[in-house]
């Protein structure tokens, strides 16, 4: 499925296309997008790439679903999400990243809204997100909070000494749905 949206941003006026098909060329694109953030260690970047490779090998059976944001066929952002096993309607957002040069124009918010919409359409009730408590991730935590997510749990020293895992959640079904993430100017 491809959704076309006109956008003005780092690429100038252009057409942002959201797609959920995964292509072989997405492997190096994901590596480049995630690496551009400056947030992740090499082994973490490898994990992001492994999820793309797993989807390419197993398709939907992998449990990893993707949305790519392309401009002129070039992926500039993506999100990876999937259902949480042994739950009814709970989904994880595994990754969401936008190429560093393209940040600050609302694309992350649009990707997150697309994930929420697709999770809702798949019968999902709640979307969970995990992130670090380190100061580096303060903007990330603020992003989720502005998008209607609430911090539900904190697991101290999870990633390492002084680095807690913060778990955010947002109801996305019609009964407990909060307002979707608002896009600047939209």
Q: What is the pLDDT of residue 174?
A: 73
How do the domains of the chain map onto residue ranges? Answer: 2-171
* CB contact at 8 A, 66 and 94: no
Q: Give me the residues of the chain with pLDDT under 70, please.
A: 1-14, 175-186
* CB contact at 8 A, 123 and 91: no
Return the CATH class of domain 2-171: alpha beta
Strands 12-19 and 65-71: antiparallel
Q: What is the pLDDT of residue 183?
A: 47
Strands 90-98 and 65-71: unpaired
Q: What is the pLDDT of residue 160?
A: 95
Q: pTM, whole model, 2 decimals?
A: 0.87
Give the chain as a 3 state SS string. CEEEEEEEECCEEEEEEEECCCCCCHHHHHHHHHHHCCCCCHHHHHHHHHHHHHHHHHHHHHCCEEEEEEECCEEEEEEEEEECCCCCCEEEEEEEEECHHHCCCCHHHHHHHHHHHHHHHCCCCEEEEEEECCHHHHHHHHHHHHCCCEEEEEEEEEEECCEEEEEEEEECCCCCCCCCCCCCCC
Q: What is the pLDDT of residue 15?
A: 87
CA dist., res. 37 & res. 118, Å (int): 25
β-bridge partners, 93? 81, 129
How many CB atoms within 10 Å of residue 32? 15
Residue-wise pLDDT for 92-112, tens only, equals: 999 999 999 999 999 999 999
Q: What is the pLDDT of residue 65?
A: 98
């Amino acid at each position: 499925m491809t959704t076309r949206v006109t956008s003005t941003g780092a690429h100038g006026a252009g057409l942002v296309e959201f797609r959920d098909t995964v292509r072989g060329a997405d492997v190096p694109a994901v590596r480049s997008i995630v690496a551009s953030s400056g947030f992740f260690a090499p082994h973490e970047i490898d994990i992001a790439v492994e999820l793309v490779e797993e989807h390419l090998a197993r398709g939907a059976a992998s449990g990893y679903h993707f949305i790519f944001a392309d401009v002129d066929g070039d992926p500039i952002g993506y999100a990876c999400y999937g259902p949480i096993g042994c739950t009814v309607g709970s989904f994880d957002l595994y990754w969401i990243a936008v190429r560093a040069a393209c940040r600050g124009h609302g694309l992350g918010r649009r990707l997150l809204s697309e994930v929420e919409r697709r999770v809702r359409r798949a019968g999902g009730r709640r979307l969970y997100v995990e992130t670090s408590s380190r100061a580096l991730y303060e903007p990330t935590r603020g992003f989720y909070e502005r998008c209607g997510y609430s911090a539900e749990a904190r697991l101290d020293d999870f990633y390492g000494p002084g680095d807690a895992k913060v778990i955010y959640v947002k109801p996305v079904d019609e009964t407990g749905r909060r307002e979707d993430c608002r896009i600047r100017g939209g």
